[in-house]
Structure 1
Amino acid sequence: MANIQISPSTSSQFEPSIAVNWLNPSVMVVVAVDLRTGSPNIGLYKSIDAGATWSTRLLPLPAGFVAIESPHIDYVFPNSFVVVAHAFDADGLSGSIVTYTSNNNASTFGPPVIVNQGFGQFVNDDQVIVVTDKAGSSPFFGNIYTAYTHDYNTQFIPGNTIFFNRSKDGGKTFLDPLLLSSVNEFEEFPGIAITLNGIAIVGWITQPPGPSELRTTTSQDGGATFGIETRVTSVVVDPSPLPGYQFRCLTYPSLAGDISNSPTTRGNVYAVWQDFREGYSDIFLSISTNFGVDWSTPKPIANSPVGAQNFFPTITVSPSDGAVFVSYYTNRVNPPNIDVFLATSRDGGKTFTNTRTTTTSFNVEGIPLIGDYIGNAVVPQLDRLVCVWTDTRTGVENIWFGDNQ
């Protein structure tokens, strides 16, 4: 289980996301915030040898913007990758959601496409995720879905909502946005799951000062319309920063659907998030076995010592056999230093084993931002789970790569 540094040591990088070409898993692509030019850009790191070596470059800024951040990437059959991110102008406002699409295994990308435009103090879009429909049994196979936090009236009486857009033409254009959440609450950083039959489920956590809850909404028509909100569970949002640390620690869900044909788990939908209900940050899981209609009672899955801080979970499910993989940060090994661990379930989320991904703990003392998330992806043919995270073992925040092999 080697750890490989994939970004330059001379500058900081954080908030990585990874995607793998399922037809040619030697091709892996990672995006992250990259500060090598001084301002935030999207670093793109590509491997054509299954993660052994990596090339690196920056994606071009969209015209009219001075910086870009919060990137996320997913794979589209057969040889395409789509990247979404939050671009902003010189005053830090007018945050807009943009996408980049490659149809040649990330060798080149088309020009950026504006998904939702920001406008000064009135509209700022951030915290974006992209998920593509890769379910072979789905009538919406190939659809691209993006959801994000849509901030409004940011310099007056601010509000946060969850917006959603979809593309039916491979990312060339995106259809009109949909408002998914209530304007009477604050929400943060949505997650998206696609089920075996193409049902799309979007989830988010409502934030203080109101009650904090994990909520979901479901689309059965390829993202054209969504039903009413479903309350999954109450959530105790982590303090930010976590006790003993200085970095920001947002609480949000990560969702994934089982699109395998495993008889006992196919169609399951899983949601994970960090929760402070025990007096420390732990990773909780809830499962829906009926495509998001009902959800199980949440349970912790990290199996870490009492008091250990576990946070920033990201989930993926193998399309080959339905195995569930959750990567997360934890200080369980050498507190207050941080490691990355992997929770794995092969029985539909009933039980989990937890293993260490990092080969050494790393120090985040005094760092105000380590990014808001990490990324993982599955190589279905090999039962291989690959993960990327922000790591400071070189003395600088860099992107590192590891797996469960």
Structure 2
Amino acid sequence: MKKYLLVGVMICSLTTISLAQENELHAFELDHQGVYPLKDLSDSPVFVDYNISFETTPQNEPTVRISRTDPNIVVAAWRDFRLGWQEPNVIRRIGYSYSHDGGITWSESQLLPDPLPDHLSQSDPVLTSDASGHFYLSSTSRKPVPNYNRDMLLYKSTDNGESFTLHAVAVPGSGMQGEDKEWIFCDPVTTNSTYDNVMIVWRSFGPEYGIKFRKSDVGAANWGPTLKVGDNYSGQGANIATGTNGNIYVVWWDGGLKFDRSLDGGNSFGADTYISTYGSQSNTSFPFICVDYSDNASRGNVYVVWADRRNGTDDIWFQRSTDHGDTWMAEPVLVNDVALNHQYWPAIQCDDNGRIAVI
């Protein structure tokens, strides 16, 4: 069974961990009919903090990934300010650390190798892992100048996260402010034509705005053409997963929660549809999508979580499709409690037994 790391998760039919306004940690079980408290974990020894950066300067935008070949191998990365965090000398880089004992102990943190020449600003790190246990780490990268034309870089580790090298410019900047807020994913479904391909989705601020997609071959050495996913020129916060039938799913925020899919392995995308039309976006959340890869009857189900403010405060909502994205539940399920606290930045994952965890 897969492990969930960095924030401990108790798994039931659906369990969520939410951070309340008072910085308390709570857990709730969702029975798809309503939400009721399962157990207050604010003082639970299950949730132990580990300092993995060992830095006194700020870090943010964390990402974590478990190896697909060994669950004891874990890599975490974040945006790192150790080279400068006060104006006018802010230098944004990507730091990382690794664990080879399931997250109990961590290596001394390092910075990724120097990005492209004169690129002093990196952001939006995202990790994924392939079937060989290699890790891929993407980030934006730009010069600190107006109209900085961000690139999307891809780093690769072949030694269980101990070191990374700059592997490819996954998406060259297309002009103006370039590319932003990427997400990467490596297809784990062996029967898919895109098995073990690394894919990337992002928002472009180049001459042709909008949500874009690109995929690589195995090993992420060669990249295919850029495709426009969104039907218009807006949107932000794209997230991606692959289905069990070869589909590729993309969700993002654009005046509501949008969904699109490719039925031909990422060679084309269809028309956008709305999963949620509620238009008051949380300032601290974008959607997160996952697919059930278990061998249970739920295999192939598509799950999405996001935050919005329809009730006045940030709340986490859950949607499910049991037919590969053709249809969705009539109403989304409220995941967190109804207290007057903010719940935000959700993520969702499904384990090998079909059990769902939401953080």
TM over 0.5: yes
TM-score (norm 1): 0.71
Residue 257 of structure 2 contacts residue 274 of structure 2 at CA under 8 Å; is this kept in 1? yes
Residue 160 of structure 1 contacts residue 188 of structure 1 at CA under 8 Å; is this kept in 2? no
Aligned-partner Cα distance in 2 for 1:67–1:123: 13
Aligned-partner Cα distance in 2 for 1:57–1:7: 8
Aligned-partner Cα distance in 2 for 1:299–1:233: 8
State the shift of 1:202 in Å: 0.5
1:191 aligns with 2:239: yes
1:75 paired residue among 129, 148, 159 = 129
State the shift of 1:300 in Å: 3.8
Aligned-partner Cα distance in 2 for 1:162–1:110: 27
Aligned-partner Cα distance in 2 for 1:7–1:237: 35
Residue 58 of structure 2 contacts residue 81 of structure 2 at CA under 8 Å; is this kept in 1? yes
Aligned-partner Cα distance in 2 for 1:59–1:49: 22
TM-score (norm 2): 0.80
2:221 aligns with 172
2:173 aligns with 118
The residue correspondences of 1:284-323 to structure 2 (distance < 5 A) are 284-318=317-351, 320-323=352-355
Residue 167 of structure 2 contacts residue 221 of structure 2 at CA under 8 Å; is this kept in 1? no
- 1:336-375 Cα shifts (integer Å, max 9, x gaps): xxxxxxxxxxxxxxxxxxxxxxxxxxxxxxxxxxxxxxxx
Q: Structure 2: any 5+ residue segments left out of the alignment?
A: 1-45, 85-90
Aligned-partner Cα distance in 2 for 1:144–1:10: 34
1:57 paired residue among 80, 94, 110 = 110
Name the amino acid aligned to 1:296. Answer: M
1:162 aligns with 2:195: no
1:42 aligns with 94
Aligned-partner Cα distance in 2 for 1:135–1:298: 29
State the shift of 1:132 in Å: 0.8
Aligned-partner Cα distance in 2 for 1:68–1:84: 10
State the shift of 1:273 in Å: 0.5
Alignment RMSD? 1.8
Give the 3 Å change call, closer, same or farther, for CA 162–282 of structure 1 in structure 2. same
Name the amino acid aligned to 2:69. Answer: L
Aligned-partner Cα distance in 2 for 1:303–1:28: 28
2:280 aligns with 237
State the shift of 1:312 in Å: 0.6
1:226 paired residue among 269, 273, 278 = 269
State the shift of 1:119 in Å: 5.2
Residue 318 of structure 2 contacts residue 335 of structure 2 at CA under 8 Å; is this kept in 1? no
2:157 aligns with 102
Residue 302 of structure 1 contacts residue 310 of structure 1 at CA under 8 Å; is this kept in 2? no
Name the amino acid aligned to 1:40. Answer: R
SS at match of 1:4: coil
Aligned-partner Cα distance in 2 for 1:297–1:3: 39
Name the amino acid aligned to 2:353. Answer: D
1:324 aligns with 356
State the shift of 1:107 in Å: 2.6
Q: Percent identity?
A: 25
Q: Structure 1: any 5+ residue segments left out of the alignment?
A: 154-158, 207-211, 240-248, 328-405
- 1:306-354 Cα shifts (integer Å, max 9, x gaps): 3221111111111x11111111xxxxxxxxxxxxxxxxxxxxxxxxxxx
Give the 3 Å change call, closer, same or farther, for CA 190–306 of structure 1 in structure 2. same
